[in-house]
Amino acid sequence: MIDEQTDKPKPRSSFWKELPILLGVAILVAVLVRAFVLQTFYIPSPSMQHTLDYNDRVLVNKLVYNFRSPHRGEIVVFEAPEQWRSIPEGEDFIKRVIGVGGDHVVCCDAQRRITINGQPLDETYIFTNPEGQRDPAASQDFDVTVPAGRLWVMGDHRSASGDSLEHWEQSQGDIQIATIDEDSVVGRAFTVFWPFGRATWLSPPETFDAVPAPAD
């Protein structure tokens, strides 16, 4: 036997009464996700070419570093230190993590490669121009030890990147100015999702797997 009270369709007016609530919940969920979990960013400069090109859209995981520190090779979005900014207000930068706290980062070995804790990096992701010429690993030699809780970051387009090396040079070797605080990191860029033709995962390159832990 069918319950007549539950068999009757809801009046149309009830849908319109519930619609504002549904929209409100959807907006609240979207705001919470953007604030705490995922956010999209677009690429406004050539500093990460051709891993990331002008106007690429990337998806950033804002939650991951609540549970661990950034790893070498990851691409991170961070709030730029005051000395790095072109305007006084906060700016978000995107770079690749090369060295983490305690790492001894040196340029360069006999093959002009950056080494971390004595292990050379084969940086196949560094920008290559249309003539097939790859940027050098660095514009000048350097020898730094990254302080605890800080990161040495560089762009993949080394000759067009305002990164740790540039600010190390400009500050006459001030490692605090040249590195960024882990707490300034907004999140990890883990995929390019637009344009569709360039969609890809942004996994850390395998060359970082061989880097040993820093010496005590």
Amino acid at position 58, single letter: V
* 164, 98 Cβ separation under 8 angstroms: yes
Rounded-to-integer distance, Cα 167 and Cα 174, Å: 8
Query: DSSP string covering 92-127, please?
Result: EEEEEEEE-TT-EEEE--TTS-EEETTEEP--TTS-
Give the 3-state secondary structure of residue 176. helix
Residue with tokens 């560094």: 126
Amino acid at position 45, single letter: S
Query: DSSP string covering 18-52, please?
Result: HHHHHHHHHHHHHHHHHHHTEEEEE--SSTTTTTS
Residue length of the chain: 216
Residue 47 bears catalytic tag = yes
Rounded-to-integer distance, Cα 60 and Cα 69, Å: 15
* 192, 200 Cβ separation under 8 angstroms: yes
Catalytic site residue from 8, 17, 45, 47? 47
Catalytic site residue from 62, 95, 161, 164? 95
Residue 95 bears catalytic tag = yes
Residues that are catalytic:
47, 95
